[in-house]
Structure 1
């Protein structure tokens, strides 16, 4: 009888240990927010089957994957967990953004090299429609403001070009998901900058203000060109050669005049 009592007591003790410490949750603080500060958009460079195989493995991962046709939304990682999609990255002073972002991959082949240069693949309307619905849901749940959505090329302009120049950022802006430069302001500023273009230090300062990691030494080096090209790919995708021209300056000025 004594052995049974001791065995029962031991089981209860082990069960208590297994359940963890007793925690009083009656008091809560208002000093907190979501760990998610950004949403990073990517393309997969492959078809759906290959994308799923890669993203379900133990290397790269993302929270969501959106198919092309049909535009099915797959959740691969819980939002409370860190996915491995951003790599070496920086935006608005934050580094290694895996810890503070949600990653969304869109099935898209990206580009192929042609005789005239890179040939980029478009996104389907259904895919972007599904993305917009998902983005609105994520932003509402995490209390994110317009401007929290960025591309992989924004946070890693020296090594990434996705989601590419055919990604329709303007559609996201029209849906209220990110700031967009006012066309009238851009036109007015472009005429002024056509007469006198700002120096490279101005471009670098403006790009840094937007959030980019960019050199600030006043020289037009390859790193600065890559950042300018990433910015142009987003706001002026018809030409993204990395040249600091009047229209690029005008777009930067318009965005600075109306920050998110």
Structure 2
């Protein structure tokens, strides 16, 4: 006979003294697109070495598929770092959305892709994402800055969920995730335009990116790896103009975000 429920031993297990050195497993939620159709997405995520906790199908399918239980680790993030933490598979829930990713003519491009390269999501998909995120955020008390894209945590490897993922809409209409205040952005942009971008050391800008959470090297140049971080930041917070270059508007947005979510951020 199989026994279920509490596991017992011959010796009493005392639980009255709980250690302070512990944390919940689930701290982040990572959004992805599958770059496959429904059938292939489901097959890859259930039979291969890649998996996710949830899959949002396309079309009119009303279901949300749960492929891995929340308390178990799914293999969706790969090599990843954010806010000083690595191996985010261990501490996150992964949500895959069926979406082609980028249009065929842009596949294989070595350039930073423009917004129009990315395939839009279906309204029903975004509705499902919003409801699922709202549920998970409430259940696990997820911080706004811990709702991230795959590109945020692996900027040199990944560009999903892409420029068509509606981060701003989810924030404004559903209170999901992090977004900057327009007044703060405008104020910082005015100051930056007056001072000039050349007056700001690259190392200080990189510190500001790191303060928000991005993993970036400390070199005093915008090498390819550093520009990948800028592109990831723009995918999330300024998807209408993607350059991989740090300009005044991008920096103003970054500073507005740090003022709102990391008020101890370094000042220029």
Classify the TM-score, shorter chain. 0.7 to 0.9
Deviation at 1:201, TM superposition (A): 1.2
Deviation at 1:60, TM superposition (A): 0.2
- Which residue is equivalent to 1:114? 105
Following the alignment from structure 2 to structure 1, what is the Cα–Cα distance between the partners of residues 95 and 105?
A: 28
Number of residues of Structure 1 aligned to a counterpart in Structure 2: 245
- Which residue is equivalent to 1:7? none
Deviation at 1:178, TM superposition (A): 1.7
Following the alignment from structure 1 to structure 2, what is the Cα–Cα distance between the partners of residues 230 and 156?
A: 9
Following the alignment from structure 2 to structure 1, what is the Cα–Cα distance between the partners of residues 34 and 169?
A: 20
- Which residue is equivalent to 2:230? 228
Following the alignment from structure 1 to structure 2, what is the Cα–Cα distance between the partners of residues 185 and 179?
A: 14
Give 5+ residue unaligned stretches, structure 1.
1-10
Is 1:103 the counterpart of 2:98 in the alignment? Answer: no
| SS of residue matched to 1:56 | helix
CA deviation string 1:168-204 (max 9, x = no partner): 0012212212221111221221122123112311221
Q: TM-score, normalised by structure 1?
A: 0.87
Is 1:24 the counterpart of 2:13 in the alignment? Answer: yes
- Which residue is equivalent to 2:73? 82
Matching residue within 166, 185, 188 for 2:164? 166
Give 5+ residue unaligned stretches, structure 2.
263-268
- Which residue is equivalent to 1:69? 59
- Which residue is equivalent to 2:212? 210
Following the alignment from structure 2 to structure 1, what is the Cα–Cα distance between the partners of residues 190 and 103?
A: 36
Matching residue within 216, 221, 236 for 1:219? 221
Q: Identify the range of structure 1 (48-57 vs 112-121) with the bigger mean alpha-carbon deviation.
A: 112-121
Q: TM-score, normalised by structure 2?
A: 0.85
Q: 1:25 to 1:131 in 2, by over 3 A?
A: farther
Q: Identify the range of structure 1 (27-36 vs 140-149) with the bigger mean alpha-carbon deviation.
A: 27-36
Following the alignment from structure 2 to structure 1, what is the Cα–Cα distance between the partners of residues 155 and 178?
A: 20
CA deviation string 1:228-254 (max 9, x = no partner): 010011111111211110001100111
Following the alignment from structure 1 to structure 2, what is the Cα–Cα distance between the partners of residues 85 and 52?
A: 14
- Which residue is equivalent to 1:36? 26
Larger-Rg structure: 1
